[in-house]
Structure 1
Amino acid sequence: MKQGVDLQSLVGYQVQRANLRMEVDARAALADYDLSPAKMTALILIRDNAGCDQTALGRALSINRSSAMKLVNILVDKGLIERRPGRDLRTNALALLPRGEVQVEAMLKAVRASDARMTARLSAEELETLQHLLGRLGPVEEEGDAE
């Protein structure tokens, strides 16, 4: 279908179209692991923020409390993470299990290959520029998030 000047000029529209194409390829790359790119992202965030709680994970993924709980339950049921005692009686600290660590590495390898396929038409310089520009479009880190 033809895209007129209006759609071509909307950065958000173009980013969304690129995101959809890349997500389809990433989902295919992760099919053998029975996990979505979002669940892989959650595993990486848990790995990189050992002891984080469900609420912090939900905020980082921009999902509500109920969705975060469902996501954590799925990852626990798959034996990839576990809940440990948190900073108080109301919270749990999330921890990546050894099986989760192995799976994260394998999934990252698959998704990196997907990224390489999807960006193959870009030069190294163009890819670096794209990553820089997308980083500038991302959310401004809140105080305490940069740690």
Structure 2
Amino acid sequence: MPKQSPATSKAQAKLKAPAAKRPASQAQAPVFNARIVGINYDILEELTGYAVRRAQLSIYADFTASLGAYDITPQRFSSLVIISNNPGISQTRLAEVMGIARSGVVAIIDNFEQAGLLERQDAGDRRAYNLHLTKEGQRQLEKYKQAVKEHDDRVSQQLTIKERQQLRALLGKLCIESK
């Protein structure tokens, strides 16, 4: 592992909660086997949702192994990317984009703010804040992006570039848009 700056070490230490204080969802993920020989899956073999969920579990396990040292989950990573590319986004809008409760976004933002990766700026309403990554937040995000790219290449290595594009397009068709 490359040598870290004091700011990087400090930011990562603040992001990490002691194991006893971490939610169970952040505990060490069990090894996931998407298909166990000798098990009859019956109708599950025909269900698109089941196949997508099994793939997601497998991909999440690799993501956790790849970025666990940074205590970055897919949700945390996604929020950093969205904030970086949409400076000044509100917490409410971020929650909408992420598809999570506003209280969940507040917890993520609190964590990033304590780690020095993000700052809230007054939006003219005491209940609303605009979100901006700090220079350290941008620096850390670049490191996370590289790790995520390596993870994504690893989990999709059996697919050609064209198949990867096709898979993303097909998965996009499964997203049900609210009217």
TM-score normalised per structure 1:
0.88
Residues 87 and 128 of structure 1, relative CA distance in 2, 3 Å threshold = same
Measured in 2, the distance between the counterparts of 1:120 and 1:94 equals 35
Corresponding letter in the other structure for 2:77: M
* Equivalent of 1:35 in 72, 77, 95: 72
Measured in 1, the distance between the counterparts of 2:40 and 2:81 equals 36
Corresponding residue number in structure 2 for 1:113: 150
Say whether 1:103 aligns with 2:140. yes
Measured in 2, the distance between the counterparts of 1:78 and 1:139 equals 35
Residues 87 and 16 of structure 1, relative CA distance in 2, 3 Å threshold = farther
Equivalent positions of 1:10-49 (< 5 A) are 10-49=47-86
Residues 36 and 65 of structure 1, relative CA distance in 2, 3 Å threshold = same
Residues 49 and 87 of structure 1, relative CA distance in 2, 3 Å threshold = farther
Corresponding letter in the other structure for 1:89: R
Corresponding residue number in structure 2 for 1:70: 107
Residues 70 and 12 of structure 1, relative CA distance in 2, 3 Å threshold = same
Q: Which piece of structure 1 moves more, 73-82 or 83-92? A: 83-92
Corresponding letter in the other structure for 1:75: F
Q: What fraction of aligned residue pairs are identical, expressed as a percent?
A: 32
For this pair of structures, how many residues does the alignment match?
142
Corresponding residue number in structure 2 for 1:145: none
Measured in 2, the distance between the counterparts of 1:75 and 1:106 equals 15
Measured in 1, the distance between the counterparts of 2:165 and 2:105 equals 32
Bigger Rg, structure 1 or 2: 2
SS at match of 1:30: helix
Measured in 1, the distance between the counterparts of 2:51 and 2:45 equals 7
- C-alpha root-mean-square deviation of aligned residues, in Å? 1.7
Corresponding letter in the other structure for 1:32: A
TM-score normalised per structure 2:
0.73
* Equivalent of 1:123 in 138, 142, 160: 160
Deviation at 1:85, TM superposition (A): 1.1
Measured in 1, the distance between the counterparts of 2:72 and 2:173 equals 28
